[in-house]
Amino acid sequence: QSALTQPRSVSGSPGQSVTISCTGTSGDVGDYDYVSWFQQHPGKAPKLLIYDVTKRPSGVPDRFSGSKSGNTASLTISGLQADDEADYYCSSHAGSYTLLFGGGTKVTV
């Protein structure tokens, strides 16, 4: 299986909004509402930001929001802050209780 497709990089100024896309197929993103998003700072473990397409774990600011349309999921970061500069990964259920990650997107603030 190929990785989900994400843009390599996106950028924005402090206070702006950015959106990261995650494109899969009808066998993964399109078929299941089990899309998650993770933030990873250099040298650190990933951190869960969004699960089940739109849900936020406790402690994650509501500046982070998720959505999905067809085979493409999206993560929107509103009110961009300096600390949001990191790598972001999407993942999706890919059938038979397997997971598939995206290639990652570097966000520059």
Partner 1 sequence: QVQLVQSGAEVRKPGASVKVSCKAAGYTFTDYYLHWVRQAPGQGLEWMGWINPNSGGTNYAQKFRGWVTMTRDTSISTAYMELDRLKSDDSAVYYCTRSEVGSGSFGDLDYWGQGTLVTVSS
Residues lying near partner 1 in the complex (CB under 8 A): 1, 3, 32, 34-36, 38, 40, 45-48, 51-52, 55, 57, 89, 91-93, 96-104
Please report how close the Cβ of residue 13 comes to partner 1 at its closest, in angstroms: 26
Nearer to partner 1, 3 or 10 (CB): 3
b/e sequence 96-107, b meaning 16+ C-beta within 10 Å: eeeebbbebbeb
List the one residue out of 69, 71, 66, 101 whose CA is nearest residue 87.
Answer: 101
Nearer to partner 1, 18 or 56 (CB): 56
